[in-house]
Structure formats: C-alpha cells, structure tokens
Amino acid sequence: MSMVASRNGTPMEAPVAPPKVVRQRRIRPGLLGLAILLIALGGLGAAFAVTSVRSTGTYLAVARPVEVGQQITADDLVPVQLSGGRELRPVPAARMKDLLGLRAAVRLTPGTLLTTTQLTEAPLLGPGQQQIALGLAADQVPARKLHPGDKVLLVSTPDTSTSGAGATRGGTRFEATVIDTAVPASNDVVVYLALAVRDVPAVVALASDDRVALVLVEAA
C-alpha cells in the first residue's frame, strides 16, 4: 500500500493500481500439427539421404576384355563394392552363376560395371546363316583388327579373266558378320564370317576366283 500526502500534510492511502494482465496467444492445433509433421518429414528425408549415400552393394564388373559373341566365364568378372549403385542397374554379384555361359552382346571393357543389356543368349551364327572362312592378304583387311560382331560387306570385283560380252563388272554385295579371325604362319588373315545360306554358294565361288573385297560397315 502506498501513502500520499494530503493538502494539510496528513498522509493518506492512495488507491492501488490493478495489475496488468498479459493476454496469452492461442496456438492453433492445426498449425502445431503441421509443424510437427514438417519436422518429422525433414528428419526422415535426412535419414534417407544418409542411408542412400552410405548404403553399399556388391556388383559385378568386367575383369578382362570380352569380345562380342564370346561366352562369359568366371574369370571374366570380378565383384566390386559400390555405393548407391542402384540407379546404374548393375548386376549383383550373387547372380554370377546365372550369367556363366551367356554371350557378350557388345564388347566388354575391363573396369566397367556389367549390366544385363550387355549379355545375350543368342550366338553370333543365327538361324538361316552358315559360317565360311575367307582368306585375305593383310592389305585386303579393312581394319587393323576385325572383332567378332563387326558388320561387313562382301563385294564382288570385276572378272578380268574374260573380256567382251562375257566380262563381269562386279559390284554384287553380300552382308555378313564377323565371327572370329586368325593369323596363320603365312601372315594371311583368315576371317570367319556368318553369312545368309542363300549367299554362301555365290561367295564361295567368288572367293575361289579371288574376286571378293571386304568392307567394314559397322564396328561392334
């Protein structure tokens, strides 16, 4: 209680001021729930990001060069650990036994991850095809080295043994696929080709007369 002086000097009791009441802000339950939800989602997102970065898996990589059409062996592959490799879709190492015996659909390079799209069950020699061997001199081969799966054209050359109306101009084309190559002691190059059955007799006849030129169309 406070005292004040009156006009005649006699102290008097002064009225006491009422205390100030601070109004409390009302918290809306909807906003509170939204804030809690956002905090929870943020925590889950951070946990997922950390888990994705830290998660590792064991996948298959190419250990040595594999040509197109070559069958896959255990020595061709090596297991590697990779973080976050799911987006790349590599083959898990646990599936190695399922891949043995399959053929390479493309040339496999060491150090690269293996995917199922790089493998096939189909051999290079497909249905309706036969394999022939074509012996060529080194300067008749269109590339320093031909690889299995390379697409080539066999083009007939003019027949110089005859003249006049019986002469053959050449230029007939036959599509083929390289199966394999070999270099014997004679230093000639033997190219093994997959050829359509209907074209085999004509190509063999041309090859016997040394009237076949090999053209590389598409490298494997």
The answer to whether residue 50 sits within a structural domain is no
The answer to whether residue 102 sits within a structural domain is yes
Residue 57: its H or E element: strand 56-62
CA distance linking residue 155 with residue 170, whole number of Å: 8
**134 and 213 in a common domain:** yes
**212 and 149 in a common domain:** yes
Residue 9, C-beta contacts closer than 8 angstroms, at least 6 positions apart: none
**135 and 97 in a common domain:** no
Residue 136, C-beta contacts closer than 8 angstroms, at least 6 positions apart: 188, 189, 190, 191, 214
**135 and 115 in a common domain:** no
User: What token pair was written down for 146?
Assistant: 């031909």
**175 and 110 in a common domain:** no
The answer to whether residue 45 sits within a structural domain is no
Residue 214: its pLDDT value, please? Answer: 93
Residue 31, C-beta contacts closer than 8 angstroms, at least 6 positions apart: none
**138 and 116 in a common domain:** no
Residue 202: its pLDDT value, please? Answer: 94
Instruction: Pick the last residue of a domain from 96, 120, 144.
Output: 120
**192 and 133 in a common domain:** yes
The answer to whether residue 212 sits within a structural domain is yes
- The count of domains in the chain is 2
**155 and 196 in a common domain:** yes
**86 and 144 in a common domain:** no
Identify which of 175, 190, 62, 177 has the alpha carbon closest to the alpha carbon of residue 123.
Answer: 177
Instruction: State the chain's mean pLDDT as an integer.
Output: 79
Q: What is the mean pLDDT of the segment spanning 164-176?
A: 75
CA distance linking residue 203 with residue 176, whole number of Å: 11
DSSP bridge pairs for 119: 104
CA distance linking residue 128 with residue 140, whole number of Å: 27
Instruction: Pick the last residue of a domain from 100, 120, 140.
Output: 120
Q: What is the mean pLDDT of the segment spanning 148-171?
A: 78
The answer to whether residue 115 sits within a structural domain is yes
CA distance linking residue 28 with residue 52, whole number of Å: 36
Q: Residue 187 region, left (φ>0) first, then alpha (ψ -120 to 50), else beta? A: left
Instruction: Pick the last residue of a domain from 120, 137, 165.
Output: 120
Q: Over 70: is that where the pLDDT of 2 sits?
A: no
Alpha helices in 60-104 (DSSP H): 96-99
The answer to whether residue 178 sits within a structural domain is yes
Residue 150, C-beta contacts closer than 8 angstroms, at least 6 positions apart: 143, 177, 178, 216, 218, 219, 220
pLDDT tens for 115-140 read 988 998 877 788 899 999 999 988 89
**112 and 62 in a common domain:** yes
The answer, as to whether pTM is greater than 0.75, is no
Q: Over 90: is that where the pLDDT of 194 sits?
A: yes
Helix (H, G, I), strand (E, B) or coil at 33: helix
The answer to whether residue 77 sits within a structural domain is yes
Confidence of residue 50 (pLDDT cuts 50, 70, 90): very low
Q: What is the mean pLDDT of the segment spanning 74-82?
A: 91
Q: Over 80: is that where the pLDDT of 3 sits?
A: no
For residue 185, give its domain range: 129-218
CA distance linking residue 101 with residue 120, whole number of Å: 10
Q: Over 90: is that where the pLDDT of 52 sits?
A: no
Q: What is the mean pLDDT of the segment spanning 179-200?
A: 89
User: What token pair was written down for 57?
Assistant: 């898996």
Query: Could you tell me the CATH number of the domain that includes residue 65?
Result: 3.90.1210.10
The answer to whether residue 3 sits within a structural domain is no
Number of C-beta neighbours around residue 44 at 10 A: 10
Confidence of residue 149 (pLDDT cuts 50, 70, 90): confident
Most confident of 10-19, 75-84, 106-115, 118-127: 106-115
Number of C-beta neighbours around residue 172 at 10 A: 16
DSSP bridge pairs for 175: 153
**154 and 115 in a common domain:** no
**194 and 167 in a common domain:** yes
